[in-house]
Amino acid sequence: MMTDQDAQDFVDRFAAAWAARDASAFLALWHPHGTLHYPFAGRVIAGREIGALNDFTKAQSPHLVWNLVGWTRRGDVIVIEWRTTNRIGDREVAFGGVDKLTLKDGKIIEEVVYTDTAPLQAARRGERFEALIQLPASAAA
């Protein structure tokens, strides 16, 4: 089982890989038999494909900026909260999510990304995202 320092080191490397958007830095984090469950893709992505995914994402979203908000862990599972900004057309869009990373031998064997894609899909269509529940304005000041 990993130590608190092992977990901190892993999170630091994960954040650095995002900051650099470097395919080899991402690949170094992944177990070759790992799987990524990613709501932006139409299928599960294999760990060995992470470098190619990074290159594709970087080409499609050159203005994407990823920021670490916080993290926690239990055993060999690390949960990372993040926030990103990106440009869609001439608009900057900010959104966040959580990644649940299960590690094996210090590398990601499974990653599940949780984020709401509805606002991004609306922005891509040039529409304004409307919340499903329209609450009245709060009377409390």
- pTM of this prediction exceeds 0.75: yes
> Could you tell me the domains of the chain?
4-124 (3.10.450.50)
Over the stretch 82-131, which tens digit does the pLDDT of each residue have? 999 988 778 788 889 999 999 999 999 999 999 998 887 887 788 888 87
Which backbone phi and psi does 136 adopt, to 5 degrees? Answer: -65, 160
What band does 67 get if pLDDT is binned at 50, 70 and 90?
very high
Beta bridge partners of 96: 83
Over the stretch 90-104, which tens digit does the pLDDT of each residue have? 878 888 999 999 999
Over the stretch 1-41, which tens digit does the pLDDT of each residue have? 899 999 999 999 999 999 999 999 999 999 989 999 999 89
Question: Of 108, 82, 104, whose CA–CA distance to 28 is shortest?
Answer: 108
- Contact criterion met (CB below 8 Å) for 73 and 7: yes
Mean pLDDT of the chain: 91
State the average pLDDT over residues 68-90: 93
State the average pLDDT over residues 68-73: 98
For the chain, give the number of residues.
141
